[in-house]
Amino acid sequence: MRKGVVVTVEIPGGTQEQYEETTRLIQAAEWFPPAGFIAHASGPDGTGGWRITDFFESEEDFLAFVEKARPIFEQTGTPQIIPRVQQAVNVVTR
pLDDT digits (tens, 9 = 90+) for 1-47: 889 999 999 999 899 999 999 999 999 999 999 999 999 999 999 99
Q: Say whether pLDDT at 66 is over 90.
A: yes
Contact 50, 15 (CB under 8 A): yes
pTM above 0.95, yes or no: no
Q: What domains, with CATH codes, occur in the chain?
A: 4-88 (3.30.70.100)
pLDDT the model gives residue 49: 92
Distance (Å) of CA 46 to CA 11, 31, 50: 11, 32, 8
**Confidence (pLDDT) at 79:** 82
Task: Give me the pLDDT at residue 1, please.
Answer: 81
